[in-house]
Every structure is written in C-alpha cells, then in structure tokens.
C-alpha cells in the first residue's frame, strides 16, 4: 500500500528535488504542508522533519471527478518527504490501491494506475 524509499540526500535537498520531479512529470504542486514546523509552532516536541506535497495533474483529476465526484476527498495525491531516526525518506500511499478501496469502476482503476506510475517515478527521480 505504501511506496517509500530512503535517500542519502538531506531532508531539504530531497524536498527541492521532489518539487522539481513533480513539475518535470507534468504535475503541479498545489501546496506544501510543513508538518514538522507546524507541530513545533504549537509547542509540541517533535524532532523529525515532514513535508507533505499535495500534487495534482488537472487532466487526471478531472477524469476522476467526472466519474465519481465523491472521490474529491481522495484528491490531490500526497507525497511526503520526512525523516525517521536520522534517515531521509520519500513516500506515498499508492493511488491504485487507495482508489480501488473506494471504487471498482474500470476507468478509475486505469487513471489510478497511470497516476501511480507517475508519482512513483517522481519519488524515484527525487531519491
């Protein structure tokens, strides 16, 4: 269900490289949530880093939404760059498996497979 890779890059470098890979692969970054900073700003002792990139391909999103508007709750795709015990990792929840739990529509299954292929490629490029 998860696709996670470890990288020798720093958290910041992996974040920069992921953002570039998203654009190179025809997606856009809608928002970046800096979860680590948000938790620390609330006074929570959180030593790890975590940025969640909300990424979207408008054409693919439109296909999903025109088939089943309820799936807006599963969009956009999220790819995370995070640290865990001193290691930098990049990962995502696989879109095909996630959407298959929400819909059995063959058209959506195909879109999810295409999106998964691209998002995994982005992670591998950023690694």
Q: Give the global pTM.
A: 0.94
| Contact in structure between 15 and 51 (CB atoms under 8 Å) | yes
Of 75, 22, 15, 73, the C-alpha closest to 49 is: 15
DSSP 70: G
Query: Domain segments of the chain: what residues?
Result: 2-126
Which CATH superfamily is 2-126 part of? TT1751-like domain (3.30.310.70)
Look at residue 127 and tell me whether its pLDDT is greater than 90: yes
Among residues 74, 51, 63, the alpha carbon closest in space to that of 107 is found at: 63
Residue 103: per-residue pLDDT: 86
pLDDT at residue 99 greater than cutoff 90: no
In tens, the pLDDT along 24-60 reads 999 999 999 999 999 999 999 999 999 999 999 999 9
């Amino acid at each position: 269900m998860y696709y996670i890779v470890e990288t020798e890059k720093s958290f910041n470098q992996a974040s920069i490289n992921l953002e570039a890979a998203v654009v190179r692969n025809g997606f856009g970054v809608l928002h970046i949530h800096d979860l680590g900073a948000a938790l620390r700003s609330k006074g929570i002792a959180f030593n790890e880093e975590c940025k969640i990139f909300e990424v979207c391909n408008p054409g693919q999103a439109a296909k999903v939404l025109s088939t089943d508007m309820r799936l807006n709750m599963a969009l956009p795709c999220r790819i995370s760059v995070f640290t865990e015990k001193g290691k930098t990792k990049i990962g995502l929840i696989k879109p095909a498996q996630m959407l298959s739990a929400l819909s059995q529509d063959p058209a959506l299954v195909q879109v999810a497979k295409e999106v998964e292929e691209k998002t995994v490629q982005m992670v591998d490029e950023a690694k």
